Structure 1
């Protein structure tokens, strides 16, 4: 189990979802009452995954720091079953991760320096899928950002693990071990495969009435080209799409230039759609 070492301006927090502790890192902006972004990681990852060679911190740790400089607090969590959170990964489902996301929002509503009316979601890859579902099913977030989000899991997941492994999991009543392209061996339960086959984030996003920011990379081989356009077309409220020449990790193997642009675009979008227009860029 990975243990994060928070920066001086960060603190480790935890909250309970169905008797299991969800671990997270809360980074507070300097404002007396700030907006906050919940950062949701991808499949099999954790809140501080993929260290950036140029800077050291993981992608979300770096994102949290930059968001703080732009006036946003943030909370990045480990979904149950990974990182420092309790639970077993084989019990994970999209529904359980949505529950973790909503519990994170509940927790943030109790933090005195957080504006409960300006809680945003930012999901990367499967975290984007979770963000879309949480928003569509509750209409709670003040805004949502989808970074390289999974929009068609019944297409993307079999491609990721192989169609044979996917069908084994779908037809098994027990657990199934799958081998990931990056060398990890992961055990998943039948309910996960069932949700992969039935969940349709692009269709569900039509129920979300809030603003939506969608980012897609032309070099991303994990998410089918055109997914962002499908999310935008299905979403019936205000949305903005940003397409750039980037891979699934936002070109961080080559530095942080693209990631900086993406963070700044996302923060600018959240600022523009905020219910409180008096929020200004910190000087």
Structure 2
């Protein structure tokens, strides 16, 4: 089973400040989503609302078609795993894992298998774990929750590259074995791009873009060539660089066949833009309308 997520005109205020403003968002059940945004953009606030950690100041947050706030039957099947985990540092790793059994679908045998696989010592206190092992423990609790909606908020922080790769592969294997809804909030965009089905970009408390990964991969382009020829195309640039008589620009939209033909005729090289570079350009605080 999987949960859908629907937000309608959602605002969340911290004091007089809007952490989120008039957010509308629809996440279909049974997909892996990437949630991207710069620090302070509102990613964690958004996930906290979906997990019912916070109540919206205005608007409706629905999970599985039901209001999530103070809805224990739904909340018990939603897992939000935050960076470093929300653990009692005085407990042992094993005792910490065992607390996950308050969830109706928690798989203790799977959790212990993952602890062995990722070499997390069960007898150690949580306080004695390195930052990387603490992050792994959080990931284990999220995977073993077997929730209908599982959200990982920067849970990879502290993991080294091989451990992150093993986590992504385990996440995908668990998803394929038991389709459910997954949200990955991360700054390591290119690392996870191949695992995502849709991407949501949050910027300054609003949804900037939401599309499937193929749309993002075909969205932008880089054009490099004689400066006058590049300018003559008349394209709106997200970013540009110039070296002598050569100019390179990044555009957010896919180029039509006519533009590509004109670029080729003018000696302009056209290349793709990676998801991470596109994200950086789209959310550049110095760009008007970012």
Q: Give the TM-score, by structure 1 length.
A: 0.31
Which structure has the highest strand share of the two?
2
Give the number of the structure whose alpha-carbon radius of gyration is greater: 2
